[in-house]
Chains A and B, each alone.
Chain A
Amino acid sequence: AQSVTQPDIHITVSEGASLELRCNYSYGATPYLFWYVQSPGQGLQLLLKYFSGDTLVQGIKGFEAEFKRSQSSFNLRKPSVHWSDAAEYFCAVGVIGTGTASKLTFGTGTRLQVTL
Chain B
Amino acid sequence: KAGVTQTPRYLIKTRGQQVTLSCSPISGHRSVSWYQQTPGQGLQFLFEYFSETQRNKGNFPGRFSGRQFSNSRSEMNVSTLELGDSALYLCASSFGSANQETQYFGPGTRLLVL
Per-residue CB contact flags for chain A residues 38-68 toward chain B (1 = under 8 Å, else 0) read: 0001111110010110000000000000000
Interface size class of A (residues with CB under 8 A): 20 to 34
When A97-B56, A102-B48, A102-B94 are in contact, do A32 and B42 touch as well, CB less than 8 Å?
no
Residues of A within 8 A of B104 (CB): 46
> A101: which of B43, B90, B100, B108 is its contact (CB, 8 Å)?
B100
Per-residue CB contact flags for chain B residues 100-111 toward chain A (1 = under 8 Å, else 0) read: 111111111010
Residues of A within 8 A of B97 (CB): 100
Question: Is residue A34 within 8 Å, beta carbon to beta carbon, of the partner chain?
Answer: yes
Nearest CB on B from A90, distance (A): 7
Q: Are A43 and B99 in contact, with the CB atoms below 8 A?
A: no
Question: Is residue A74 within 8 Å, beta carbon to beta carbon, of the partner chain?
Answer: no
Q: Are B58 and A103 in contact, with the CB atoms below 8 A?
A: yes
**Docked pose: A101 CA to B98 CA in angstroms:** 7
Q: Are B56 and A43 in contact, with the CB atoms below 8 A?
A: no
List residues of B (13-44) whose CB comes within 8 Å of A's CBs.
Answer: 31, 33, 35, 42-43
- Chain B interface helix/strand/loop/mixed: strand
Question: Is residue A96 within 8 Å, beta carbon to beta carbon, of the partner chain?
Answer: yes
Residues of B within 8 A of A94 (CB): 101
Q: Are A97 and B48 in contact, with the CB atoms below 8 A?
A: yes
Q: Are B102 and A34 in contact, with the CB atoms below 8 A?
A: yes
Q: Are A42 and B100 in contact, with the CB atoms below 8 A?
A: no
Question: Is residue A25 within 8 Å, beta carbon to beta carbon, of the partner chain?
Answer: no
Residues of A within 8 A of B102 (CB): 34, 46, 49
Question: Is residue A106 within 8 Å, beta carbon to beta carbon, of the partner chain?
Answer: yes
User: B48 — nearest CB in chain A belongs to which residue?
Assistant: A102
Nearest CB on A from B6, distance (A): 8
Nearest CB on A from B60, distance (A): 13
Question: Is residue A108 within 8 Å, beta carbon to beta carbon, of the partner chain?
Answer: yes
Supply 16 A–B pairs (Cβ within 8 Å), ascending by A.
Answer: A34-B102, A43-B90, A44-B90, A46-B104, A51-B100, A52-B100, A94-B101, A97-B48, A100-B31, A100-B94, A100-B99, A102-B33, A103-B58, A104-B43, A105-B45, A109-B42
Q: Which A residues have a C-beta under 8 Å from some C-beta of B?
A: 32, 34, 36, 41-46, 49, 51-52, 90, 92, 94, 96-109
